[in-house]
Amino acid sequence: MAGPRRGAGNVSRARRDVIVVGGGPAGSTAAALLAEAGHDVLLLERERFPRFHVGESLLPIDIPLLERLGVRLAEGPYRYKRGADFLDEQTGDFARYNFADGLDGTPDHAFQVERSLFDAALLDAARTRGADVRMAEPVRSVAVAPEVVRVESAGGVHEARYLVDASGQSALLAKQWGGVAPIPEFGRAAAFRHYRGVAPQVADELGREGNIQVLMLPDGWAWVIPLHGDTVSIGVVRRRALRPEELDREVADSPHLSRITAGARPGDAHRISNFSYRNTEPSGARYCCVGDAACFLDPVFSSGVALAMLGAETAVGLLSPALAARSEDEPSLMKPWRGHMDVIYRSFSALIHRFYHTRMIDNLFFAERPDPAIRRGLITVLSGDVWRDDNPFQQLLERSRRGERLDRSQAR
Ligand SMILES: Cc1cc2nc3c(=O)[nH]c(=O)nc-3n(C[C@H](O)[C@H](O)[C@H](O)COP(=O)(O)OP(=O)(O)OC[C@H]3O[C@@H](n4cnc5c(N)ncnc54)[C@H](O)[C@@H]3O)c2cc1C
């Protein structure tokens, strides 16, 4: 692995307990919880917040952790989200999945968030808990040695006992040692933008449930996310390369999307591609990668922020006592974390695979007479609550990974 360049600035004053690279949901959560536990944490973020970021629809499973971090979305400029709507303009199919209809014990709501505001609030939670947060300080390289971690950033060279790589799609460590394994069978490219000033009746209509809408398109899908006030986020995801103009064509061609955006002011168009991959070595002696730096599946079921925050929380649960016991250099420290996170990665991968490669949406999501127990279980998985043993849908999902056809068992 490449080490820091020589003469690249001064080594900072003290060896930190932990350096966190990246101040997105994964990095802020890790830094906040570590600092709260009394560890000396330095967080280095490349950008100056607030900054635009994709990934605006949260899941109910995020709610208890947000409460633990003291981030009260109900009191801020965020949209209460009751669930998800799936629609197909070609066939007229429509299905609403409200979280309140899931199994008991899972929170019944989530939020839609403008990430510039949400990420700044999370980063504040890290700062107020005592993390040393430095913005506009990109990390250039990292060297993980047996005795110490050295990080070279725009501000100099920093040392720590442990590194948390939360650099998102930049996947700092994985790229440094060639450990990025693409997941070619999921979504490949997305184009998206915000629309401000949508008509009051449209804002009212979308805001009533606050649901994300997933609109099936002939060769992909689109999201509609009602943000706070009169702002809506719209994006198109395809399994092939996508030019920003295609977003506008898709919006113009769709009666539903053109009605939502009529008279609204389009913001800047953004584009991202090849976002589905996993890091082949997400943890080892003195480091772990959390959030997108560990893996990103696909945006269709809005699982990214939940995976990032829960992954960080679980990693800290192991790291914090190890720092206290000075055993953080143990290479297998994060093994239980990998096992725990594997449950949620497996569940969402199974759903996403079926979304792109089977008729699951027609046969299960749009089913006219769904089995009530299966429907409740599906909603619970869509909420991100996958660590329970009373969910018949999840058991079916697990079994179907071993060869049984999920969608056939749910045929209309
Ligand atoms: C098209 C699309 C739509 C999506 N929609 C949703 C959705 O609706 N809901 C959802 O939950 N998720 C969604 N996601 C996923 C979501 O965006 C991510 O999973 C989530 O942001 C991951 O959080 P993170 O903290 O790991 O990374 P990020 O949020 O990307 O944060 C990483 C941070 O690290 C910083 N950084 C990077 N490199 C460096 C460096 N070298 N030095 C210092 N700092 C650095 C970056 O500036 C950034 O602030 C979507 C993703 C895509 C591609």
Assess contact for 168 and 292: CB atoms under 8 A.
yes
Q: Which residue has the higher pLDDT, 215 or 402?
A: 215
pLDDT beyond 50 at 404: no
Lowest mean pLDDT among 80-84, 217-221, 315-319, 330-334: 217-221
**How do residues 25-68 score in pLDDT, each as one tens digit?**
999 999 999 999 999 999 999 999 999 999 999 999 999 999 99
Using pLDDT thresholds of 50, 70 and 90, give the confidence band for residue 401: low
pLDDT beyond 70 at 197: yes
Rounded to the nearest 5°, which phi and psi values hold at 220? 165, -145
- By most ligand atoms within 8 Å of CB, the mutation choice from 57, 170, 307 for ligand 1 is 170
Mean pLDDT of 347-357: 93
- Tell me, using a 6 A CB cutoff, whether residue 54 lines ligand 1: yes
In this prediction, residue 240 carries a pLDDT of: 80
CATH number assigned to the domain covering 188-273: 3.30.9.100
166 is written with which tokens? 């939360």
**How do residues 259-316 score in pLDDT, each as one tens digit?**
999 999 999 999 999 899 999 999 999 999 999 999 999 999 999 999 999 999 999 9
Question: 3-class secondary structure for 175-228?
Answer: HHCCCEEECCCCCCEEEEEEEECCCHHHHHHHHHHCCEEEEEECCEEEEEEECC
330 is written with which tokens? 């143990």
Atom 14 in ligand 1: residue holding the nearest Cα: 55
In this prediction, residue 409 carries a pLDDT of: 39
**How do residues 140-186 score in pLDDT, each as one tens digit?**
999 999 999 999 999 999 999 999 999 999 999 999 989 999 998 88
Q: Is the alpha carbon torsion for 271, 274, 277, 279 positive or negative?
A: negative
Q: Can you identify the CATH homologous superfamily of domain 16-71+113-182+276-341?
A: FAD/NAD(P)-binding domain (3.50.50.60)
Rounded to the nearest 5°, which phi and psi values hold at 144? -105, 105
Q: Which residue has the higher pLDDT, 6 or 376?
A: 376
- Tell me, using a 6 A CB cutoff, whether residue 21 lines ligand 1: yes
Q: Which residue has the higher pLDDT, 169 or 408?
A: 169
Dist. CA 351 → ligand 1 center (Å): 21
Dist. CA 181 → ligand 1 center (Å): 18
- Tell me, using a 6 A CB cutoff, whether residue 29 lines ligand 1: no
Using pLDDT thresholds of 50, 70 and 90, give the confidence band for residue 405: very low
**How do residues 370-395 score in pLDDT, each as one tens digit?**
999 999 999 999 999 999 999 999 99
Dist. CA 318 → ligand 1 center (Å): 23
Q: Domain map of the chain by residue range?
A: 16-71+113-182+276-341, 188-273, 358-409
Amino acid at 228: H
Report the mean per-residue pLDDT for the chain: 92
pLDDT beyond 90 at 364: yes
Ligand 1 atom at shortest distance from the alpha carbon of 291: 26
Strands 149-153 and 139-144: antiparallel
Ligand 1 atom at shortest distance from the alpha carbon of 58: 11
- Residue 121's H or E segment, with its range, is helix 115-128
Assess contact for 66 and 308: CB atoms under 8 A.
no
Tell me if residue 162 falls in helix, strand or coil.
strand
- Tell me, using a 6 A CB cutoff, whether residue 310 lines ligand 1: no
Query: 321: closest CA among 130, 37, 113, 79?
Result: 37
Q: Which residue has the higher pLDDT, 407 or 243?
A: 243
Alpha carbons 289 and 311: distance in angstroms, whole number: 9
- DSSP state at residue 392: H
Mean pLDDT of 317-334: 98
Dist. CA 372 → ligand 1 center (Å): 35
Atom 38 in ligand 1: residue holding the nearest Cα: 167
Using pLDDT thresholds of 50, 70 and 90, give the confidence band for residue 246: confident
Query: Bridge partners of 194?
Result: 233
**How do residues 72-93 score in pLDDT, each as one tens digit?**
999 999 999 999 999 999 999 9
For the whole model, what pTM was predicted?
A: 0.94
Q: How many Cα atoms within 13 Å fall on the side-chain side of residue 285? A: 9
Mean pLDDT of 110-133: 98
Using pLDDT thresholds of 50, 70 and 90, give the confidence band for residue 188: confident
Using pLDDT thresholds of 50, 70 and 90, give the confidence band for residue 407: very low
Query: 239: closest CA among 369, 372, 356?
Result: 356
222 is written with which tokens? 């689109």
